């Protein structure tokens, strides 16, 4: 089957409410046309993020009841440690409450002012945590990643020529580690090939630079390797993961993605000295090393989720469901980023609403229209999130991509709900000329997308 049906049945349900268009119009006005400010209870299908939004299995819930909430040495920590070691293979396992804390602990320990950390593309929290150390976060993905039309099987790959240039330019002493984000969230959930990882490792070895993975969506990346990379068709998922992580020295993980939990993360690594320094910092800011800001039951759910996520039936359904949405849209001529990624479909707003000028936030306008007309919430990944004001000229520096991301939570929506999303977007596309641009009325100095407020520009056709 091209699009496998759900490999689970539903045991617990959460009702979701449909609202009227009038209600949503009012809610949008109150929210300043910012979907982060709309209450989730007024959203019908919520595709804001795939992070922390998974449905847990009965086995995970059963594990929650076996939580041991001792301050030190909870058995759930040992289960968790064993799960992480068996999948990732690194010696030290340090739990954190979510991914960005793992990043913060790692970078505050090993990155010093004036240093540089290369990555394919840093996720915003990774970049922010590096810049917080007064260091530079460099994005060195292959250039095709920035072309929404270019179809490559591994569009998240590191550009090894640029990586070597950077090492030669800044010198290995100023690069405490390099990272590879699997899958590459910021440019469409695109995977990195085993071959590219192997070569990245070989290059870094020549300069003695450690390699860390941002492993949030590692299982999805490993599934793409199995599907697309020669030599892996018959390799079991855990073996693919072991080989991949074997090329690294450690990883940071937000288990809110491929850990199939609602909260949790970790840092895992081989270097004893780094682990010791990080653990000392963990105790200061997060908690004792056998719970790291989580409850025992959370650790148990994470241990079980990390094993479940490598189940091939699950992954085939998961990747298939995202692809199902993407292909329905693509076949109807709706402009999307290609190839379809692992966790989300991205609408290309530059082509969807070409009548909206760049300074009127086309992707934000599209996300607002999708909510107003159909109660579906996506997230803008474009000028609101990544545009910068050039203080010298007062002009806006626009990011390369202007997208609305439709991130699919894991095991949450049925294929019928996904069909509803596709049909809604196809309808909206037919009516796209009616979508109006927005003007910014408030922005915070940092991470403005969470709290920005907008007004609607006059009707485009009336201009
Ligand atoms: C996503 C998120 C969650 C998010 C974060 C910020 C604003 C809106 C939504 C989080 C990631 C990620 C990668 C590759 C690290 C984190 C941080 N992604 N690396 O895509 O995608 O993890 O949220 O657990 O701290 O919606 P954390």
Distance 187 CA to ligand 1 centre (A): 13
Whole-number Å distance, alpha carbon 102 to ligand 1 midpoint, is: 12
With 0-12 / 13-18 / 19 or more C-beta atoms within 10 angstroms meaning exposed / middle / buried, residue 222 is buried
User: Which residues on adjacent β-strands are paired with residue 407?
Assistant: 344
Nearest CA-CA partner of 179 in 120, 132, 100, 124? 120
Cβ(214) – ligand 1 distance below 6 Å: yes
Per DSSP bridges, beta strands 116-119 and 379-381 are unpaired
Among candidate residues 266, 272, 282, the one with its CA nearest the CA of residue 85: 266
**Which pair of structure tokens corresponds to residue 407?**
């991130």
Which of ligand 1's atoms lies nearest the C-alpha of 50?
Answer: 26
User: What is the residue with the minimal CA distance to atom 8 of ligand 1?
Assistant: 49
Per-residue pLDDT of the chain (463 residues; tens, 9 = 90+): 689 999 999 999 999 999 999 999 999 999 999 999 999 999 999 999 999 999 999 999 999 999 999 999 999 999 999 999 999 999 999 999 999 999 999 999 999 999 999 999 999 889 999 999 999 999 999 999 999 999 999 999 999 999 999 999 999 999 999 999 999 998 899 999 999 999 999 999 999 999 999 999 999 999 999 999 999 999 999 999 999 999 999 999 999 999 999 999 999 999 999 999 999 999 999 999 999 999 999 999 999 999 999 999 999 999 999 999 999 999 999 999 999 999 999 999 999 999 999 999 999 999 999 999 999 999 999 999 989 888 888 888 999 889 999 999 999 999 999 999 999 999 999 999 999 999 999 998 888 999 999 999 876 544 4
Instruction: Tell me phi and psi for residue 396, to 5 degrees.
Output: -85, 135
Question: Vertex 73, ends 77 and 280: CA angle to 5°?
Answer: 85
Q: How far is the CA of 125 from the centre of ligand 1 (A)?
A: 7
Q: Using a 6 Å cutoff on CB, does residue 184 contact ligand 1?
A: no
* Neighbour-count burial of 58, counting CB atoms closer than 10 A to its CB (0-12 exposed, 13-18 middle, 19+ buried): exposed
Q: In testing the pocket of ligand 1, which one of 99, 252, 258 has its CB within 8 Å of the most ligand atoms?
A: 99
- 229 Cβ below 6 A of ligand 1: no
Is 120's C-beta closer than 6 angstroms to any atom of ligand 1? no
Ligand 1 centroid distance, CA of 202 (Å): 29
Furthest C-alpha separation in the chain: 67
Cβ–ligand 1 contact at 186 (below 6 Å): no
**Reduced to 3 states, what is the DSSP secondary structure of residue 213?**
strand
78-99 pLDDT, tens digit each: 999 999 999 999 999 999 999 9
Ligand 1 atom nearest the C-alpha of 343 is 20
Q: Is 282 exposed, middle or buried (0-12, 13-18, 19+ CB in 10 A)?
A: buried
Q: Are 95 and 293 in contact (CB under 8 A)?
A: yes
What would the pLDDT profile of 361-412 be if each residue is shown by its tens digit? 999 999 999 999 999 999 999 999 989 888 888 888 999 889 999 999 999 9
213 in Cβ contact with 182 (< 8 Å): yes
Going by C-alpha positions, the residue among 32, 162, 16 that lies closest to residue 453 is: 32
Triad 364, 370, 373: Cα angle to 5°:
135
Write the pLDDT tens digit of every residue in 220-261: 999 999 999 999 999 999 999 999 999 999 999 999 999 999
Flag whether the pTM goes above 0.75.
Answer: yes
Cα 414 → chain centroid: 21
Helix (H, G, I), strand (E, B) or coil at 346: strand
- Residue whose Cα lies nearest atom 16 of ligand 1: it is 99
Q: How many CA atoms lie within 13 A of 321 on its CB side?
A: 26
pLDDT of residue 462: 45
Check pocket membership of 54 for ligand 1, CB cut-off 6 A. Answer: no
Q: Within 13 A of 403's CA, how many CA atoms are on the CB side?
A: 25
Is-contact 250 212, C-beta < 8 A?
yes
Distance of CA 312 to the CA centre of its chain: 21
CA-angle at 76, arms to 73 and 77, nearest 5°: 55
Question: Mutate which of 125, 189, 251, 452 to test ligand 1's pocket (most atoms within 8 Å of Cβ)?
Answer: 125
Cis previous bond, 460, omega within 30: no
Contact between 213 and 257 (Cβ < 8 Å): no
Query: Is the Cβ–Cβ distance between 428 and 370 less than 8 Å?
Result: yes
Shortest-distance Cα residue to atom 18 of ligand 1: 51
Do 211 and 269 form a contact (C-beta atoms < 8 A)?
Answer: no
């Amino acid at each position: 089957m091209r699009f496998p049906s759900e490999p689970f049945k539903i045991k617990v349900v959460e009702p979701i409410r449909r609202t009227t268009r009038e209600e949503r119009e009012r809610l949008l006005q109150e929210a300043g046309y910012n979907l982060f400010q709309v209450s989730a209870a007024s959203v019908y299908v919520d595709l804001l993020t795939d992070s922390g939004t998974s449905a847990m299995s009965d086995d995970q819930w059963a594990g929650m009841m076996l939580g041991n909430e001792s301050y030190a040495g909870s058995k759930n920590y040992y289960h968790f440690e064993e799960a992480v070691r068996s999948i990732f293979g690194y010696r030290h396992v340090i739990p954190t409450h979510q991914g960005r804390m793992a990043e913060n602990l790692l970078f505050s320990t090993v990155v010093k002012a004036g240093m540089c950390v290369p990555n394919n593309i840093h996720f915003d929290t990774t970049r922010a945590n590096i810049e917080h150390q007064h260091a530079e976060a460099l994005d060195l993905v292959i250039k095709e990643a920035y072309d929404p039309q270019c179809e490559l099987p591994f569009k998240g790959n590191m550009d090894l020529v640029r990586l070597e240039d950077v090492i030669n330019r800044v010198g290995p002493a100023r690069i405490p580690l390099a990272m590879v984000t699997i899958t590459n969230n910021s440019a469409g959930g695109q995977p990195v090939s085993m071959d590219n990882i192997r070569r990245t490792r070989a290059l870094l070895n020549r300069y003695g630079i450690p390699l860390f993975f941002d492993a949030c969506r590692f299982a999805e990346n490993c599934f793409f390797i199995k599907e697309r990379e020669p030599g892996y068709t018959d390799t079991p998922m855990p073996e693919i993961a072991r080989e991949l992580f074997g090329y690294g020295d450690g990883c940071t993980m937000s288990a809110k993605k491929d850990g199939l939990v609602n909260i949790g993360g970790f840092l895992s690594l081989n270097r004893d000295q780094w682990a010791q320094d990080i653990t000392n910092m963990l105790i200061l800011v997060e908690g004792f090393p056998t719970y790291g800001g989580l409850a025992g039951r959370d650790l148990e759910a994470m241990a079980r989720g990390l094993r479940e996520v490598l189940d091939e039936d699950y992954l085939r359904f998961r990747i298939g469901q995202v692809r199902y949405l993407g292909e329905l849209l693509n076949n109807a001529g709706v402009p999307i980023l290609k190839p379809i990624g692992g966790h989300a479909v991205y609408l290309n707003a530059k082509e969807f609403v070409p009548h909206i000028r760049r300074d009127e936030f086309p992707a934000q306008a599209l996300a607002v229209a999708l909510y107003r007309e159909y109660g579906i919430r996506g997230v803008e990944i474009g000028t609101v999130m990544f545009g910068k004001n050039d203080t010298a000229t007062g002009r806006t520096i626009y990011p390369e991509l202007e997208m609305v991301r439709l991130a699919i939570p894991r095991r949450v929506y049925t294929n019928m709900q996904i069909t509803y999303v596709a049909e809604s977007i196809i309808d909206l596309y037919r009516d796209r000329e009616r979508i109006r641009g927005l003007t910014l009325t408030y922005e915070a100095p940092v991470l403005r997308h969470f709290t920005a407020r907008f007004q609607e520009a006059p009707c485009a056709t009336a201009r």
